[in-house]
Every structure is written in C-alpha cells, then in structure tokens.
Amino acid sequence: MKKFITPIKISGGVIALAGVILLILAPFLGKNFFDLLWAVEPFTYLGGILLVVGLGVTAATYSGAERFIKNSDHGLNGQNGKHSWSETTLQYFQLFDHDLGRPLRRIIGKERELRAVMQANPGSSDAGVIELLDEIERQTPNFRLMMSNIQVLIQLESPASDDEVQLVEPNEVIRRIADRYTPVAAEAGKEITWWSEPSELGLVYANTNAIEHIVTNLVDNAVRYAGTHVEVKLTKNPTHFFVRVWDDGPGIGAQYVPHLFDRGWTPEVVRREEKSSSGLGLFIARNLARQSGGDLTVESDDSPDGEHHTTFLLSLPSNLTAELNGVR
Amino acid sequence: MARVNAGRNILVVDDESESDILRAVRRRLEEEGWTTTVIEPESGHSLGEEFEAATLWSIEQTLPDAVLLDVRFGQNRDDQFRGLSILGEIVERWPKLPILMFTQYAQGPDRETAVRDSLKWDAPVDFIDKLASPDEVVLRLRRLIGTAPESIPIGNHILVDVSARLVYVGEGEDRDPALEIQGMKFEIFRELAVTWYRSPGELVAFARLERYSEGEDPRASLRVRIREIKDAIGKAMNTRFGPSELIINIRDQGYRLVPPKS
C-alpha cells in the first residue's frame, strides 16, 4: 500500500493545478468556444471542482500515509504496539535478565555441583533427588528462552528500537543453536540434524539478533513437539536466505494453524492442559521476521500415518546494505 | 574419556570464578583435557583495573589457547562493562587469540558494540550466556580454537587418531586399530569425525566426501566405502550397524556421524 501513496499524492496535485489553470483560462476559453458570456460558467465550475477534488486527495494522502506508516512499521499484529516506557522502566528492562539471571545461575550452579558430587559417590544417589536435578536442568533452556523472548518483546515495543544489520554467517548461527538444543533433544531421546545448500552459504547482511532469536524459537518449538527427529536446512537465492525447520511430531490440525502465531497460543490450550511454554515464541518470531523485511510461514500435516510433520519456513532478505541500515 | 586437548590451556577471567556455575564449566573443560588458569588479582586497586592488569600480564607470560572472559566485574559502576575494555585490549595486542565472552548479555547492544569492534580486527570473538550448559561452552571453544585435536574419541569405544591415521576400537587399554579403515576410508571417517567434534548435528555433504571416492559413479563408490567402514567397526565391537546407526544418510544430502550407544 505504501508504494501507492506517492502517485496518489502527485495525482491530487496535478488535478488541483489543472483546476487553477482552468479557472484562469475560463473567460477566454468560454468566449472562444461559445462566444456567449454565460458559456464561461461551465469552465469556471469545472475548474473549481477540479481544484477542490485535487486538494482533497492530496490532504487525505498526507494524513492517511502518516497513520499507515505508524501502524505498518512498528505495529504488532497490525496495531501500533509502541509504548512510552518511562526512563526508569527502560533501565529496569535493560537489567532485568541480569537480575533474574543471578538467582537462576545460583540454582543451576548448585544443581550441577550436587550432580558432580553424586556422580563421584554413586552409592549416595537418591532417585527423588536425581529426578529433581534432572527437572532443574530440563527447565533451564525454558528460562533462557523466556528471558530473551521478554527482552525482544520489550525491544519490539520500545520507541527506541532499531534493527542493527551486520555481516552474518548463517551457518555459524545455526551451529550455535544446534549446540544449545542438541543436549536438550538428546535428553528427550530426539536428534537434531542440520545442513545448508550449498554447504557453505557464506556471509549475508542481516540482523544477527533477529535470525538467532527467530530460529532459536523455531528449534525450541520443534524439539518440544518432535517425535524423534528435527531437521534444519539453510538455503538461499540472490535476494533472500531461507531456514526450514522440520519436525516429525504429530502435526497441527488445519483448524488450529491460523492461531499458531497468536500471542499465548499453545497446543495445550485446545486440550485444556498445562501449557508447556508461554506461547510467546512463535508470536515474536513472526513479528520479528516481518519487521526484518521477511516472513515466517508454516505447513503441517496431522494425518495419523507416517507422513505427519510440521515445517516452518523463515525467509529473510540477505542483501540489506550497510548504507540502508546505518552500519558503519 | 581420552584427554583430547592435553597441554592446552584456557584462561578464565571472571570475578565469580569460584561460583558453582563457573566450577561446573571448569570441571567440564578439564574433562575435555584443557587445563584452566583462573585470574586471581592481588588486592589494592579497584577490582576491574586489577583484573585487567592481571589478565594482560598472564597472557603475556603464557599465551593460552583461548580466554573465557566475563563482561561485568563487581558492583562498581565503572566496572559494569570492564570485560569489554579487557576484550579491546586483548584483541589489539593478540588479534588471533580466541575469546569467549561469558555473560548474561549474550544478545543486545553491548554484544553489538563488542562484535563490531572485534570485527574490525577480524578477531575470533564469540558470546555465550552464563546459563549455557558446560557442553555448549566446550563446543563453542572447540570451534573458536579451530584446530581439531590429534585424537577424537567418538563415544566410549571409538578413537580416531588423526596423526597416526588410524581408527581404534575398544574400551580403555583394550583398544585395537581397525586396520581395514585406511587410505580413502580413513579420510572419509576423519572428515565425519572432525565435523561431529565441532558441531554434532551437522551433516557432511556428499560433495565433500566424494573427494575420497573414485570411479564413474562416485556416489555409489562412497556408499560402498561407508558400508565397509561400518562393517569394520561393527566387527571389532561384535555388532552390525544398521542404516540409522553410526553413519547415517540424511535425505540423500550427505552423511552424519552418530556415536554408538553404549
């Protein structure tokens, strides 16, 4: 829609100008064409109408464009999602993961110490204690993701947020995410495999944080719902690169697919069970993808045969230039 | 487990190096064969300055293989991002020294500033957050350091000796070389093992492995060699590896190593 605003604005100006010219020339044109004084009037009326219509069109495009740009550039789900956070609140947001991270690090550090002690003295291990330690370790990736999701949500809704573009090696970004989720998947008896075509994708200009954050959420989601396998595949064309995240989970019913990117939606909502995640991940992922000039789509098959799966496809522009995005 | 990084040293620079979370990471690094040196500054100056001076002095004395560096030091406002200033000093003096920033700020503007500055020198710098598992820290350090070790243990029963160009099968002292895995077959297995060591889920594309096969149909020749490698290791372990074990074909794109379950 944005691309139509300028031509409409120009057209309005041209119509208004034609109206002014017609008003000036009306007496002369009327005389030449009809040689009667009353015949001037139709041209005067016509000129006046054109002037009013032209000015109206131009004024409407100015106010409409401002409203459109506000909504489309910063809005979440088509609304203007920006808040005017106070300085104190913003400062707190910047430090909140540090504040929340400290007690979490203490708990997880203690859990790992205790596990090391128990491994050194196998006879002293109590099944209940081991179960507790396992549960703490299992929940750690959820805490990590939740903290970064909240950070990104704040950034998306902050007036000062900007999209920093850098030279990124997508293969290395996927390697980092695979490092993080391979042990999580293995713990649940699942496997992650990833590759790129071609095998070295090279460097692209993109927003590193956005890619890492979106794909982390997709892989987290895939590991959560996969049967045994998760696959991540990277490809590119001259203008975009693509990350496909596939899992062999039970799939999502066609009726639920439209809600998949809704804030707070998880499959457990349908079954009225306890949510296994906040339901923020996919909502943020799609908004971040679109804000970065790309998109996130999903395809799923929930048939009970062996073909059931879910595939998310992330596409992001790979040729964002340094000049366009303020990279020094 | 074999100590694959014997003689290699990681310098740990963190004002909470005795915290449980750091102890778990150091323990895992030592299991991997790295020795760890922890910076313990003498008291006197402000905490951040002391750490900075002690770190630079330590690197100068014994150049480590990598540095694990915290971003924040203490509660002093001037030291909030002292780690970034230490990073700048290290990158300027030792631009090839791998540095893993160990922080709660794995993403965000501080990382951007540091990455942009370090990119100016093309330095091997990466960020990881403190809730990362010790295994994740090890994988990140393996790639930052870059060079593969001389021997790579795959699970508890297989050891690839890169320098002797041999694959050993068995446990502990009872390991014997699988002599059938030589020449091109060894190169194929080494390629799979090195990729697995650096990034366990990464597939090795056919194109990279077909360099080690020959004939009119290199894909078929590669398939035969993979089967022979699996048979040789399986024979030494008194088992037979199926299509989804040890070396697996992924969607006809390439192969991936999966350590045998023991």
pLDDT tens for A165-204 read 778 889 999 999 999 999 899 989 999 999 998 887 888 8
> Do residues A309 and A246 make contact, with C-beta atoms less than 8 angstroms apart?
yes
Nearest to B24 among A109, A148, A183 (CB): A109
Q: What are B184-203's pLDDT values in tens digits?
A: 999 999 999 999 999 999 99
Count Cβ neighbours within 10 Å for each residue of B22-51 and write b for 16 or more, e otherwise.
Answer: bbbbbebbeebbbbbbebebeeeeebbbbb
Q: Counting beta carbons within 10 angstroms of the beta carbon of residue A84, is it exposed (0 to 12), middle (13 to 18) or buried (19 or more)? A: exposed
- Between A10-24, A65-79, A87-101, B115-129, the lowest mean confidence (pLDDT) is in A65-79
Mean pLDDT of chain B: 86
Mean pLDDT of A213-220: 94
How many degrees, rounded to 5, is the angle at CA B35 between CA B32 and CA B37? 140
Final residue in a domain of this structure, among A22, A43, A74: A74
User: Quick one: which H or E segment has residue A300?
Assistant: strand A295-301
- Asked if A166 lies within 8 A of B112 by C-beta distance, the reply is yes
Task: Give B28's Cβ-side CA count (13 Å radius).
Answer: 21
Closest alpha carbon to B252 in B213, B203, B212: B203
Given a cut of 60, whether residue B207 has pLDDT beyond it is yes
Mutate to test the interface with B, among A118, A152, A195, A214 (most CBs of B within 10 A): A195
- Asked if B21 lies within 8 A of A105 by C-beta distance, the reply is yes
How many degrees, rounded to 5, is the angle at CA B79 between CA B76 and CA B81? 135
Question: What pLDDT score does A319 carry?
Answer: 73
Mutate to test the interface with B, among A100, A193, A207 (most CBs of B within 10 A): A193
Look at residue A170 and tell me if it is in a domain.
yes
Look at residue A235 and tell me if it is in a domain.
yes
**Interface check A213 vs B, CB under 8 A:** yes
Q: Where are the domains of chain B?
A: 9-145, 151-258
**Interface check B139 vs A, CB under 8 A:** yes
- Asked if A112 lies within 8 A of B105 by C-beta distance, the reply is no
- Please indicate, yes or no, whether residues A274 and A176 belong to a single structural domain of this protein: yes
Question: What pLDDT score does A161 carry?
Answer: 54
- Please indicate, yes or no, whether residues A316 and A180 belong to a single structural domain of this protein: yes
Closest alpha carbon to B56 in B95, B12, B89: B89
Look at residue A14 and tell me if it is in a domain.
yes
By C-alpha distance, the chain B residue nearest A117 is B24
Mean pLDDT of B25-40: 92
The percent of residues above 70 in pLDDT, for chain B, comes to: 86
Edge-to-edge order in the sheet of strand B166-169: B151-154, B158-161, B166-169, B176-177
- Residue B128 tokens read as 């990881």
Residue A310: give its domain's CATH number. Answer: 3.30.565.10
Nearest to A116 among B27, B106, B203 (CB): B27
**Interface check A148 vs B, CB under 8 A:** yes
Q: What are A10-31's pLDDT values in tens digits?
A: 777 878 888 777 777 776 666 5
- Please indicate, yes or no, whether residues A133 and A273 belong to a single structural domain of this protein: no
The percent of residues above 90 in pLDDT, for chain A, comes to: 23
B199 vs chain A: nearest CA distance in angstroms? 6
pLDDT-derived band at B44 (thresholds 50, 70, 90) equals low
Q: Chain B residues with CB inside 8 Å of A98's CB? A: 72, 104-105
Q: Chain B residues with CB inside 8 Å of A328's CB? A: 116
- Please indicate, yes or no, whether residues A139 and A284 belong to a single structural domain of this protein: no
Look at residue A58 and tell me if it is in a domain.
yes
- Please indicate, yes or no, whether residues A148 and A170 belong to a single structural domain of this protein: no
Mutate to test the interface with B, among A118, A119, A166, A199 (most CBs of B within 10 A): A199
- Please indicate, yes or no, whether residues A117 and A239 belong to a single structural domain of this protein: no
- Asked if A143 lies within 8 A of B133 by C-beta distance, the reply is no
CATH architecture, range B151-258: Orthogonal Bundle (1.10)
B262 vs chain A: nearest CA distance in angstroms? 14
pLDDT-derived band at A274 (thresholds 50, 70, 90) equals low
Q: What are A220-256's pLDDT values in tens digits?
A: 999 999 999 999 999 988 889 999 999 999 988 888 8
Given a cut of 70, whether residue B77 has pLDDT beyond it is no
SS (H, E, C) B157-211: CEEEECCCCEEEECCHHHCEECCCCCHHHHHHHHHHHHHHHHCCCECEEHHHHHH
Among 3.40.50.2300, 1.10.580.10, 3.90.550.10, 3.20.20.80, name the CATH number for the domain at B9-145: 3.40.50.2300
Q: Chain A residues with CB inside 8 Å of B135's CB? A: 179, 183
Final residue in a domain of this structure, among A137, A156, A175: A156
By C-alpha distance, the chain A residue nearest B71 is A98
- Please indicate, yes or no, whether residues A124 and A13 belong to a single structural domain of this protein: no
- Please indicate, yes or no, whether residues A188 and A287 belong to a single structural domain of this protein: yes
The CA distances from residue A317 to A142, A290, A292, B16, in Å, are 29, 10, 8, 41
Q: For chain A, how many structural domains are there in total?
A: 3
- Please indicate, yes or no, whether residues A171 and A258 belong to a single structural domain of this protein: yes
Place of tokens 């991002």: B81
- Please indicate, yes or no, whether residues A132 and A43 belong to a single structural domain of this protein: no
Place of tokens 């099944």: A127
Residue A25 lies in domain: 2-74
Complex confidence, ipTM: 0.86
Q: What one-character-per-residue DSSP string does chain B give?
A: ---TTTT-EEEEE-TTTTSHHHHHHHHHHHHTT-EEEE--PPSSS-HHHHHHHHHHHHHHHS--SEEEEES--SS-GGGTTHHHHHHHHHHHH-TTS-EEEEES-SSSHHHHHHHHHHHHTT--EEEEETTS-HHHHHHHHHHHH-SPPSEEEETTTEEEETTTTEEEESSGGG-EE-TT--HHHHHHHHHHHHHHHH-TTBPEEHHHHGGG--SS-HHHHHHHHHHHHHHHHHHHTT----TTSEEEEETTTEEEEEPPP-
